[in-house]
């Protein structure tokens, strides 16, 4: 049987859905949602995930029913879920066929780092794990606030955050990565870009000569070694971060922010 339609509950990021009874067969369509569900104790209720859901390891054993481009609607329906959890901005159109068939869909869209706490609480309501979700939310906020206090007076460090190299991309201040850079006292070269993930050329970065260049791999950073006069190259501050901890907002995100802050501290130490 398909699950009854969900009621609506207003939260920080718009109207959300909440059910009278906890969902028992959940399909997660985004890795950050999968991580949150497992973190609050709802892992046993997750029956399928998207292809990018790789944490915790238990998620790797679950059926894969989606990727960033599409959903396998037939397979999802065959699993008889009573709730689909989707990333609103990326998947709202993709889930419309499921909604038309009467499948219940709820959305996650943590736009700000602090939003994750409410998202955890919301998933706790949907899955019947309210107390564990509240505990996770409190712990997450405590870590975030401790980082904010520690770095509130830190010396500003100019940063270029690299996303890939073909094309060369970055992130503005409104993104999760941009917010993390600002929390650590970084001055993001692309902070004011009108595009969340702007494309640019190397000449733009060379002209601004950042103290630190960050990327998720040494391979991406190799691009900059052809310009030894660049401050980040001279000071050996072509540094890596764990993209999984920064590109997804999850309970692990504070560790990713700590890692980023420590990398910026290397510039402050000189």
Map out the domains of the chain with their CATH numbers.
Answer: 7-142 (3.40.50.1980), 154-268 (3.40.50.1980)
Three-point CA angle 72, 74, 78, nearest 5°: 120
Task: Round to whole Å and give the CA distance between 49 and 26.
Answer: 9
**pLDDT on residue 69:** 84
* SS3 assignment, position 121: helix
Q: Are 86 and 107 in contact (CB under 8 A)?
A: yes
Task: Round to whole Å and give the CA distance between 240 and 218.
Answer: 7
Task: Round to whole Å and give the CA distance between 55 and 159.
Answer: 29
For residue range 221-234, list pLDDT tens digits in order: 999 999 999 999 99
Model confidence at 92, pLDDT cuts 50, 70, 90, reads confident
Average pLDDT on 60-83 reads: 93
Residue 8 has pLDDT above 50, yes or no: no
Task: Round to whole Å and give the CA distance between 54 and 73.
Answer: 21
**pLDDT on residue 127:** 97
State the number of CA atoms in the 13 A half-sphere of 191 facing the CB.
12
CA 244 vs CA 67, 73, 122, 167: distances in Å: 16, 27, 23, 20
Average pLDDT on 112-141 reads: 97
Q: Are 197 and 232 in contact (CB under 8 A)?
A: no
**pLDDT on residue 21:** 85
**pLDDT on residue 270:** 77
Residue 181 has pLDDT above 60, yes or no: yes
For residue range 187-235, list pLDDT tens digits in order: 999 999 999 999 999 999 999 999 999 999 999 999 999 999 999 999 9
Residue 151 has pLDDT above 70, yes or no: yes
Q: Please give the mean pLDDT across all residues of the chain.
A: 91
What are the φ and ψ backbone dihedral angles of 119, each rounded to 5 degrees? -65, -40
Percent above pLDDT 70 for the chain: 93
Average pLDDT on 100-107 reads: 94
Q: Are 3 and 19 in contact (CB under 8 A)?
A: yes
Model confidence at 185, pLDDT cuts 50, 70, 90, reads very high
Nearest to 235 by CA among 156, 158, 155: 158
**pLDDT on residue 166:** 85
Residue 9 has pLDDT above 80, yes or no: no
**pLDDT on residue 1:** 33
Residue 11 has pLDDT above 50, yes or no: no
**pLDDT on residue 20:** 65
Question: For tokens 């009467």, what's the residue?
Answer: 102
**pLDDT on residue 10:** 30
Model confidence at 12, pLDDT cuts 50, 70, 90, reads very low
**pLDDT on residue 15:** 38
**pLDDT on residue 66:** 92
Helix (H) or strand (E) holding 74: helix 73-78
Q: What tokens were used for 246?
A: 């920064």
Task: Round to whole Å and give the CA distance between 147 and 113.
Answer: 12
Three-point CA angle 131, 134, 137, nearest 5°: 150
**pLDDT on residue 19:** 54
What are the φ and ψ backbone dihedral angles of 118, each rounded to 5 degrees? -70, -35
Question: For tokens 């890795």, what's the residue?
Answer: 31
Pairing of strands 46-50, 7-11: unpaired
The separation between the first and the last C-alpha atoms of the chain, rounded to the nearest angstrom, is 64
Average pLDDT on 11-31 reads: 71
Nearest to 27 by CA among 101, 93, 106, 92: 106
Q: Is 83 exposed, middle or buried (0-12, 13-18, 19+ CB in 10 A)?
A: buried
């Amino acid at each position: 049987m398909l699950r009854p339609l969900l009621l609506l509950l207003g939260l920080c990021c718009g109207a959300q859905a909440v059910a009278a009874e906890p969902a028992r067969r959940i399909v997660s369509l985004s890795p950050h949602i999968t991580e949150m569900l497992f973190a609050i104790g709802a892992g046993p209720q997750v029956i399928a995930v998207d292809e990018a859901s790789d944490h915790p390891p238990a998620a790797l054993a679950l059926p894969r029913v989606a990727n960033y481009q599409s959903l396998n609607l037939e397979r999802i329906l065959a699993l008889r879920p009573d709730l689909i959890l989707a990333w609103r901005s990326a998947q709202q159109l993709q889930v419309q066929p499921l909604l038309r068939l009467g499948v219940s869909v709820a959305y996650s869209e943590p736009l700000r780092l602090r939003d994750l706490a409410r998202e955890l609480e919301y998933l706790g309501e949907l899955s019947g794990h309210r107390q564990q979700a509240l505990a996770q939310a409190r712990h997450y906020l405590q870590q975030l606030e401790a980082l904010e206090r520690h770095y509130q007076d830190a010396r500003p460090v100019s940063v270029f955050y690299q996303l890939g190299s073909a094309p060369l991309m970055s992130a503005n201040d409104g993104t999760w990565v941009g917010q993390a850079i600002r929390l650590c006292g970084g001055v993001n070269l692309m902070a004011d870009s009108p595009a969340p993930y702007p494309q640019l050329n190397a000449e733009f970065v060379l002209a601004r000569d950042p103290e630190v260049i960050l990327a998720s791999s040494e391979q991406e950073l190799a691009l900059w070694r052809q310009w030894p006069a660049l401050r980040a190259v001279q000071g050996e501050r072509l540094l890596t971060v764990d993209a999984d901890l920064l590109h997804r907002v999850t309970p692990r995100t504070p560790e990713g922010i700590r890692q980023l802050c420590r990398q910026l501290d290397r510039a402050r130490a000189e």
